[in-house]
Structure 1
Amino acid sequence: MRLVRAAIDLFAEQGYDKTTVAQIAERAGLTKTTFFRHFPDKREVLFAGQEAHARLLADGIAGAPAGATPLQAVAAALDAVTATFVPEQREFGPRLHDVIAAHKELREREVFKRAGLCAAMAEALTARGVPDPAASLAADLGVRAFTRAFDRWIEPANDQPFPELARQALDELRTAAATLA
Protein backbone atom coordinates (compact mmCIF):
# COMPACT_ATOMS: atom_id res chain seq x y z
CA MET A 1 0.00 0.00 0.00
CA ARG A 2 2.97 2.34 0.59
CA LEU A 3 3.99 2.11 -3.05
CA VAL A 4 0.45 2.77 -4.24
CA ARG A 5 0.04 5.77 -1.97
CA ALA A 6 3.46 7.16 -2.95
CA ALA A 7 2.72 6.72 -6.66
CA ILE A 8 -0.67 8.38 -6.49
CA ASP A 9 0.74 11.28 -4.46
CA LEU A 10 3.56 11.83 -6.95
CA PHE A 11 1.30 11.44 -9.99
CA ALA A 12 -1.05 14.05 -8.50
CA GLU A 13 1.80 16.41 -7.59
CA GLN A 14 3.97 16.31 -10.69
CA GLY A 15 2.04 14.28 -13.25
CA TYR A 16 2.17 10.69 -14.38
CA ASP A 17 4.63 11.25 -17.22
CA LYS A 18 7.15 13.12 -15.07
CA THR A 19 7.13 10.58 -12.25
CA THR A 20 9.72 7.81 -12.27
CA VAL A 21 9.78 4.43 -10.56
CA ALA A 22 12.84 5.58 -8.60
CA GLN A 23 10.88 8.55 -7.24
CA ILE A 24 7.96 6.33 -6.26
CA ALA A 25 10.24 3.90 -4.45
CA GLU A 26 12.08 6.73 -2.69
CA ARG A 27 8.81 8.36 -1.56
CA ALA A 28 7.67 5.02 -0.18
CA GLY A 29 10.98 4.54 1.64
CA LEU A 30 11.87 1.52 -0.47
CA THR A 31 14.31 0.67 -3.23
CA LYS A 32 13.66 0.57 -6.95
CA THR A 33 14.36 -3.18 -6.82
CA THR A 34 11.62 -3.59 -4.23
CA PHE A 35 9.21 -1.71 -6.51
CA PHE A 36 9.94 -4.12 -9.36
CA ARG A 37 9.36 -7.11 -7.09
CA HIS A 38 5.76 -5.94 -6.79
CA PHE A 39 5.05 -4.26 -10.13
CA PRO A 40 6.46 -4.61 -13.65
CA ASP A 41 6.08 -0.88 -14.37
CA LYS A 42 4.69 2.33 -12.92
CA ARG A 43 1.25 2.05 -14.50
CA GLU A 44 0.61 -1.28 -12.78
CA VAL A 45 0.93 0.33 -9.35
CA LEU A 46 -2.37 2.09 -10.11
CA PHE A 47 -4.08 -1.26 -10.54
CA ALA A 48 -2.65 -2.99 -7.48
CA GLY A 49 -4.72 -5.87 -6.22
CA GLN A 50 -6.54 -6.70 -9.45
CA GLU A 51 -5.54 -10.36 -9.30
CA ALA A 52 -6.78 -10.59 -5.72
CA HIS A 53 -10.02 -8.86 -6.71
CA ALA A 54 -10.53 -11.36 -9.53
CA ARG A 55 -10.04 -14.25 -7.08
CA LEU A 56 -12.44 -12.71 -4.56
CA LEU A 57 -15.08 -12.22 -7.23
CA ALA A 58 -14.71 -15.79 -8.48
CA ASP A 59 -14.73 -17.17 -4.92
CA GLY A 60 -17.81 -15.09 -4.09
CA ILE A 61 -19.64 -16.60 -7.05
CA ALA A 62 -18.48 -20.11 -6.18
CA GLY A 63 -19.63 -19.63 -2.60
CA ALA A 64 -23.11 -18.35 -3.47
CA PRO A 65 -26.00 -20.61 -2.43
CA ALA A 66 -26.71 -23.49 -4.83
CA GLY A 67 -30.04 -22.08 -5.99
CA ALA A 68 -28.76 -18.54 -6.58
CA THR A 69 -29.55 -16.90 -9.88
CA PRO A 70 -26.60 -15.61 -11.90
CA LEU A 71 -27.15 -12.06 -10.61
CA GLN A 72 -27.54 -13.28 -7.04
CA ALA A 73 -24.18 -15.02 -7.42
CA VAL A 74 -22.70 -11.80 -8.83
CA ALA A 75 -24.12 -9.91 -5.84
CA ALA A 76 -22.34 -12.38 -3.54
CA ALA A 77 -19.13 -11.73 -5.48
CA LEU A 78 -19.56 -7.97 -5.11
CA ASP A 79 -20.09 -8.42 -1.37
CA ALA A 80 -16.88 -10.44 -1.16
CA VAL A 81 -14.68 -7.96 -3.01
CA THR A 82 -16.10 -4.68 -1.71
CA ALA A 83 -15.80 -5.82 1.91
CA THR A 84 -12.01 -5.84 1.49
CA PHE A 85 -11.69 -2.16 0.61
CA VAL A 86 -10.31 0.03 3.36
CA PRO A 87 -10.81 3.74 4.17
CA GLU A 88 -7.35 4.57 2.79
CA GLN A 89 -8.46 3.37 -0.65
CA ARG A 90 -11.49 5.61 -0.40
CA GLU A 91 -9.28 8.53 0.58
CA PHE A 92 -6.97 8.29 -2.44
CA GLY A 93 -9.74 7.13 -4.80
CA PRO A 94 -10.49 10.58 -6.26
CA ARG A 95 -6.81 11.20 -7.05
CA LEU A 96 -6.50 7.74 -8.59
CA HIS A 97 -9.56 8.44 -10.72
CA ASP A 98 -8.14 11.78 -11.88
CA VAL A 99 -4.74 10.33 -12.80
CA ILE A 100 -6.30 7.54 -14.85
CA ALA A 101 -8.81 9.86 -16.52
CA ALA A 102 -6.03 12.20 -17.65
CA HIS A 103 -4.05 9.56 -19.59
CA LYS A 104 -5.22 7.54 -22.57
CA GLU A 105 -2.71 4.76 -21.83
CA LEU A 106 -4.06 4.41 -18.29
CA ARG A 107 -7.69 4.48 -19.42
CA GLU A 108 -6.91 1.67 -21.85
CA ARG A 109 -5.17 -0.28 -19.09
CA GLU A 110 -8.20 0.21 -16.85
CA VAL A 111 -10.47 -1.26 -19.53
CA PHE A 112 -8.10 -4.23 -19.85
CA LYS A 113 -8.14 -4.77 -16.07
CA ARG A 114 -11.94 -4.58 -15.97
CA ALA A 115 -12.09 -7.17 -18.74
CA GLY A 116 -10.00 -9.45 -16.53
CA LEU A 117 -12.45 -9.05 -13.65
CA CYS A 118 -15.33 -9.74 -16.01
CA ALA A 119 -13.64 -12.87 -17.35
CA ALA A 120 -13.03 -14.18 -13.82
CA MET A 121 -16.69 -13.78 -12.95
CA ALA A 122 -17.91 -15.25 -16.24
CA GLU A 123 -15.68 -18.31 -15.74
CA ALA A 124 -16.97 -18.76 -12.20
CA LEU A 125 -20.56 -18.48 -13.40
CA THR A 126 -19.89 -20.98 -16.18
CA ALA A 127 -18.44 -23.36 -13.58
CA ARG A 128 -21.78 -23.06 -11.74
CA GLY A 129 -23.55 -24.17 -14.92
CA VAL A 130 -24.65 -20.77 -16.19
CA PRO A 131 -24.53 -20.88 -20.00
CA ASP A 132 -23.12 -18.14 -22.17
CA PRO A 133 -24.20 -15.45 -23.00
CA ALA A 134 -25.97 -15.24 -19.62
CA ALA A 135 -22.69 -15.78 -17.75
CA SER A 136 -20.90 -13.05 -19.70
CA LEU A 137 -23.79 -10.62 -19.39
CA ALA A 138 -24.14 -11.17 -15.63
CA ALA A 139 -20.37 -10.74 -15.21
CA ASP A 140 -20.42 -7.54 -17.25
CA LEU A 141 -23.25 -6.15 -15.11
CA GLY A 142 -21.22 -7.07 -12.04
CA VAL A 143 -18.16 -5.15 -13.23
CA ARG A 144 -20.30 -2.18 -14.21
CA ALA A 145 -21.95 -2.24 -10.78
CA PHE A 146 -18.55 -2.42 -9.08
CA THR A 147 -17.29 0.56 -11.09
CA ARG A 148 -20.41 2.66 -10.47
CA ALA A 149 -20.31 1.84 -6.77
CA PHE A 150 -16.61 2.71 -6.50
CA ASP A 151 -17.22 6.08 -8.14
CA ARG A 152 -20.00 6.78 -5.64
CA TRP A 153 -18.00 5.45 -2.68
CA ILE A 154 -15.13 7.87 -3.27
CA GLU A 155 -17.42 10.91 -3.44
CA PRO A 156 -16.68 13.10 -0.40
CA ALA A 157 -20.37 13.50 0.48
CA ASN A 158 -20.96 9.74 0.48
CA ASP A 159 -21.52 8.00 3.80
CA GLN A 160 -22.72 4.62 2.56
CA PRO A 161 -20.56 1.49 2.79
CA PHE A 162 -19.06 0.20 -0.45
CA PRO A 163 -20.90 -3.18 -0.32
CA GLU A 164 -24.23 -1.40 0.02
CA LEU A 165 -23.42 0.88 -2.91
CA ALA A 166 -22.44 -2.12 -5.04
CA ARG A 167 -25.75 -3.87 -4.31
CA GLN A 168 -27.65 -0.67 -5.19
CA ALA A 169 -25.72 -0.27 -8.43
CA LEU A 170 -26.38 -3.89 -9.41
CA ASP A 171 -30.10 -3.42 -8.70
CA GLU A 172 -30.13 -0.26 -10.84
CA LEU A 173 -28.45 -2.08 -13.71
CA ARG A 174 -30.79 -5.06 -13.38
CA THR A 175 -33.77 -2.70 -13.56
CA ALA A 176 -32.29 -0.86 -16.56
CA ALA A 177 -31.62 -4.15 -18.36
CA ALA A 178 -35.24 -5.21 -17.84
CA THR A 179 -36.43 -2.11 -19.70
CA LEU A 180 -34.46 -3.07 -22.81
CA ALA A 181 -36.90 -5.80 -23.87
Structure 2
Amino acid sequence: MARAAAKRESADFRRQSLIEAAADCLADKGVAGTSVRTICARAGVSPGLLRHYFEGIGDLIAATYRDVTERVSRSLAAAEGEAGPEPRQRLIAFVTASFRPPIADPKLLATWLAFWSLVNTRPAIAAIHGETYRGYREGLERLLAGCGLDPAEVRPAAIALTALVDGLWLELSLDPSTFTPAEASAIAVRWVDNWLGPLQTAC
Protein backbone atom coordinates (compact mmCIF):
# COMPACT_ATOMS: atom_id res chain seq x y z
CA MET A 1 0.00 0.00 0.00
CA ALA A 2 2.76 2.44 0.99
CA ARG A 3 4.70 1.61 -2.18
CA ALA A 4 1.61 2.23 -4.35
CA ALA A 5 0.97 5.55 -2.62
CA ALA A 6 4.59 6.59 -3.10
CA LYS A 7 4.45 5.62 -6.76
CA ARG A 8 1.26 7.64 -7.27
CA GLU A 9 2.78 10.60 -5.47
CA SER A 10 5.87 10.39 -7.65
CA ALA A 11 3.71 10.22 -10.79
CA ASP A 12 1.70 13.24 -9.63
CA PHE A 13 4.93 15.12 -9.00
CA ARG A 14 6.27 14.36 -12.49
CA ARG A 15 2.98 15.37 -14.10
CA GLN A 16 2.93 18.62 -12.14
CA SER A 17 6.56 19.32 -13.03
CA LEU A 18 5.63 19.10 -16.72
CA ILE A 19 2.73 21.52 -16.17
CA GLU A 20 4.98 23.99 -14.37
CA ALA A 21 7.65 23.66 -17.07
CA ALA A 22 5.04 24.31 -19.75
CA ALA A 23 3.88 27.45 -17.93
CA ASP A 24 7.48 28.67 -17.66
CA CYS A 25 8.15 28.02 -21.35
CA LEU A 26 4.98 29.80 -22.42
CA ALA A 27 5.91 32.79 -20.27
CA ASP A 28 9.51 32.93 -21.50
CA LYS A 29 9.18 31.84 -25.12
CA GLY A 30 5.53 32.22 -26.08
CA VAL A 31 3.54 29.64 -28.00
CA ALA A 32 5.92 29.62 -30.98
CA GLY A 33 8.93 28.78 -28.79
CA THR A 34 7.20 26.13 -26.70
CA SER A 35 7.67 22.54 -27.83
CA VAL A 36 7.88 19.06 -26.36
CA ARG A 37 11.65 19.40 -26.35
CA THR A 38 11.77 22.78 -24.60
CA ILE A 39 9.21 21.74 -22.00
CA CYS A 40 10.93 18.47 -21.19
CA ALA A 41 14.33 20.15 -21.05
CA ARG A 42 12.91 22.66 -18.55
CA ALA A 43 11.37 19.84 -16.51
CA GLY A 44 14.56 17.77 -16.69
CA VAL A 45 12.88 14.70 -18.19
CA SER A 46 13.10 12.83 -21.48
CA PRO A 47 10.66 13.87 -24.26
CA GLY A 48 9.05 10.45 -24.18
CA LEU A 49 7.79 11.01 -20.66
CA LEU A 50 5.39 13.72 -21.78
CA ARG A 51 3.41 11.17 -23.79
CA HIS A 52 3.12 9.03 -20.68
CA TYR A 53 1.07 11.69 -18.87
CA PHE A 54 -0.52 13.66 -21.72
CA GLU A 55 -1.91 12.86 -25.14
CA GLY A 56 0.40 15.46 -26.64
CA ILE A 57 1.60 19.02 -26.22
CA GLY A 58 -1.90 20.38 -26.86
CA ASP A 59 -3.27 18.33 -23.98
CA LEU A 60 -0.42 19.51 -21.74
CA ILE A 61 -1.03 23.18 -22.60
CA ALA A 62 -4.73 22.78 -21.82
CA ALA A 63 -3.86 21.15 -18.48
CA THR A 64 -1.45 23.99 -17.80
CA TYR A 65 -4.12 26.60 -18.52
CA ARG A 66 -6.50 24.86 -16.15
CA ASP A 67 -3.80 24.64 -13.48
CA VAL A 68 -3.03 28.36 -13.78
CA THR A 69 -6.70 29.35 -13.64
CA GLU A 70 -7.25 27.16 -10.57
CA ARG A 71 -4.32 28.80 -8.79
CA VAL A 72 -5.76 32.23 -9.52
CA SER A 73 -9.19 31.10 -8.31
CA ARG A 74 -7.69 29.82 -5.07
CA SER A 75 -5.95 33.17 -4.51
CA LEU A 76 -9.21 35.05 -5.03
CA ALA A 77 -11.10 32.71 -2.72
CA ALA A 78 -8.42 33.07 -0.04
CA ALA A 79 -8.56 36.86 -0.25
CA GLU A 80 -12.34 36.80 0.08
CA GLY A 81 -12.20 34.39 3.01
CA GLU A 82 -9.66 36.50 4.87
CA ALA A 83 -11.90 39.59 4.59
CA GLY A 84 -14.33 38.30 7.20
CA PRO A 85 -18.12 38.06 7.12
CA GLU A 86 -19.06 41.59 6.02
CA PRO A 87 -20.40 41.35 2.41
CA ARG A 88 -18.96 44.57 1.02
CA GLN A 89 -15.51 43.87 2.43
CA ARG A 90 -15.59 40.40 0.90
CA LEU A 91 -16.47 41.94 -2.47
CA ILE A 92 -13.67 44.51 -2.22
CA ALA A 93 -11.16 41.84 -1.19
CA PHE A 94 -12.16 39.60 -4.11
CA VAL A 95 -11.84 42.47 -6.59
CA THR A 96 -8.60 43.99 -5.35
CA ALA A 97 -6.75 40.67 -4.98
CA SER A 98 -6.02 40.88 -8.71
CA PHE A 99 -3.73 43.86 -8.10
CA ARG A 100 -1.35 42.03 -5.76
CA PRO A 101 0.91 38.99 -6.08
CA PRO A 102 0.55 36.24 -6.98
CA ILE A 103 -2.05 37.48 -9.50
CA ALA A 104 -0.38 40.78 -10.40
CA ASP A 105 2.76 39.23 -11.82
CA PRO A 106 4.42 39.96 -15.21
CA LYS A 107 5.28 36.28 -15.58
CA LEU A 108 1.66 35.26 -15.04
CA LEU A 109 0.61 37.87 -17.61
CA ALA A 110 3.05 36.44 -20.17
CA THR A 111 1.66 32.95 -19.61
CA TRP A 112 -1.92 34.22 -19.79
CA LEU A 113 -1.25 36.06 -23.07
CA ALA A 114 0.03 32.82 -24.56
CA PHE A 115 -3.19 31.08 -23.57
CA TRP A 116 -5.33 33.92 -24.93
CA SER A 117 -3.59 33.64 -28.30
CA LEU A 118 -4.91 30.07 -28.56
CA VAL A 119 -8.55 30.72 -27.62
CA ASN A 120 -9.74 31.09 -31.22
CA THR A 121 -7.83 28.08 -32.55
CA ARG A 122 -7.91 25.48 -29.76
CA PRO A 123 -11.37 24.30 -28.64
CA ALA A 124 -10.01 22.95 -25.35
CA ILE A 125 -8.44 26.31 -24.54
CA ALA A 126 -11.62 28.13 -25.56
CA ALA A 127 -13.65 25.90 -23.23
CA ILE A 128 -11.36 26.59 -20.27
CA HIS A 129 -11.38 30.30 -21.08
CA GLY A 130 -15.18 30.29 -21.07
CA GLU A 131 -15.32 28.41 -17.78
CA THR A 132 -12.81 30.80 -16.20
CA TYR A 133 -14.62 33.95 -17.28
CA ARG A 134 -17.96 32.52 -16.24
CA GLY A 135 -16.64 31.42 -12.84
CA TYR A 136 -15.12 34.84 -12.08
CA ARG A 137 -18.27 36.66 -13.18
CA GLU A 138 -20.50 34.35 -11.14
CA GLY A 139 -18.31 35.00 -8.11
CA LEU A 140 -18.86 38.72 -8.56
CA GLU A 141 -22.59 38.21 -9.09
CA ARG A 142 -22.80 36.30 -5.81
CA LEU A 143 -20.92 39.00 -3.93
CA LEU A 144 -22.85 41.88 -5.50
CA ALA A 145 -26.14 40.17 -4.71
CA GLY A 146 -24.92 39.72 -1.13
CA CYS A 147 -24.50 43.48 -0.92
CA GLY A 148 -28.16 43.94 -1.76
CA LEU A 149 -27.77 45.12 -5.36
CA ASP A 150 -30.99 45.07 -7.39
CA PRO A 151 -31.18 41.58 -8.98
CA ALA A 152 -31.68 43.15 -12.41
CA GLU A 153 -28.38 45.00 -12.01
CA VAL A 154 -26.26 42.12 -10.72
CA ARG A 155 -25.27 40.58 -14.05
CA PRO A 156 -24.42 43.83 -15.91
CA ALA A 157 -22.55 45.09 -12.86
CA ALA A 158 -20.50 41.89 -12.73
CA ILE A 159 -19.69 42.13 -16.45
CA ALA A 160 -18.62 45.76 -16.13
CA LEU A 161 -16.56 45.13 -13.01
CA THR A 162 -14.86 42.16 -14.64
CA ALA A 163 -13.86 44.36 -17.57
CA LEU A 164 -12.57 47.06 -15.22
CA VAL A 165 -10.47 44.61 -13.20
CA ASP A 166 -9.12 42.94 -16.35
CA GLY A 167 -8.05 46.29 -17.79
CA LEU A 168 -6.38 47.48 -14.61
CA TRP A 169 -4.68 44.12 -14.06
CA LEU A 170 -3.40 44.05 -17.63
CA GLU A 171 -1.90 47.53 -17.51
CA LEU A 172 -0.47 47.04 -14.02
CA SER A 173 1.19 43.78 -15.10
CA LEU A 174 2.52 45.28 -18.35
CA ASP A 175 3.96 48.40 -16.73
CA PRO A 176 3.84 48.75 -12.93
CA SER A 177 5.13 52.35 -13.26
CA THR A 178 1.80 53.44 -14.80
CA PHE A 179 -0.02 53.33 -11.46
CA THR A 180 0.32 51.52 -8.15
CA PRO A 181 -1.63 48.53 -6.87
CA ALA A 182 -3.13 50.88 -4.26
CA GLU A 183 -4.35 53.22 -7.00
CA ALA A 184 -5.84 50.32 -8.94
CA SER A 185 -7.63 49.15 -5.80
CA ALA A 186 -8.92 52.65 -5.09
CA ILE A 187 -10.34 52.92 -8.62
CA ALA A 188 -12.11 49.58 -8.25
CA VAL A 189 -13.47 50.48 -4.81
CA ARG A 190 -14.79 53.81 -6.08
CA TRP A 191 -16.50 51.99 -8.96
CA VAL A 192 -18.14 49.58 -6.51
CA ASP A 193 -19.28 52.46 -4.29
CA ASN A 194 -20.76 54.32 -7.25
CA TRP A 195 -22.59 51.24 -8.53
CA LEU A 196 -23.99 50.21 -5.16
CA GLY A 197 -24.99 53.80 -4.38
CA PRO A 198 -27.14 54.13 -1.26
CA LEU A 199 -27.21 50.33 -0.94
CA GLN A 200 -23.62 50.31 0.24
CA THR A 201 -24.72 51.32 3.76
CA ALA A 202 -26.78 48.12 3.97
CA CYS A 203 -23.85 45.86 3.09
TM-score (norm 2): 0.56
Matched AA of 1:123: R
Q: Select which of 18, 25, 39 maps to 1:24.
A: 39
Taking only the aligned residue pairs, the percentage that are identical comes to 13
Q: Which residue of 1 aligns with 2:134?
A: 115
Q: Does 1:78 align with 2:98?
A: no
Gaps of 5+ in 2: 1-19, 198-203
Match of 2:113 in 1: 97
Deviation readout 1:50-92 (Å, 9 max, x if unpaired): 2243344345456366363xxx6432212234333267x3146
Summarize deviations over 1:22-62 as a string: whole Å, max 9, x none. 642332335537975xx963134245432243344345456
Residues matched between the structures, number: 168
Q: Secondary structure at the match of 1:41?
A: helix
Deviations, residues 112-165 of structure 1 (Å, cap 9, x unaligned): 321121123323454666563444344333322221112101224635344542
Unaligned runs of 5+ in 1: none
Indicate which of 155, 161, 177 corresponds to 1:136.
Answer: 155
| More helix as a share of residues | 2
Indicate yes or no: 2:79 matched with 1:57: no
* TM-superposed deviation, 1:102: 6.0
Q: Which amino acid aligns with 1:32?
A: L
CA distance in 2, matches of 1:67, 1:123: 10
Mapped to 1, the partners of 2:41 and 2:173 lie a distance apart of: 27
Q: TM-score, normalised by structure 1?
A: 0.61
Of 26-35 and 48-57, more deviation after overlay is shown by: 26-35
Partner of 2:86: 66
CA contact (8 A) 1:60 1:78 kept: no
Q: Which of structure 1's runs of 4+ aligned residues deviate more than 6 A?
A: 173-176
AA aligned to 2:40 is: A
Q: Does the 8 Å CA contact 1:94/1:155 hold for their aligned counterparts?
A: no
The alpha-carbon distance between structure 1 residues 86 and 50, as it changes in their structure 2 partners (threshold 3 A), is: closer
Q: How many Å separate the matches in 1 of 2:63 and 2:69? A: 10
Query: Cα RMSD over matched residues?
Result: 4.2
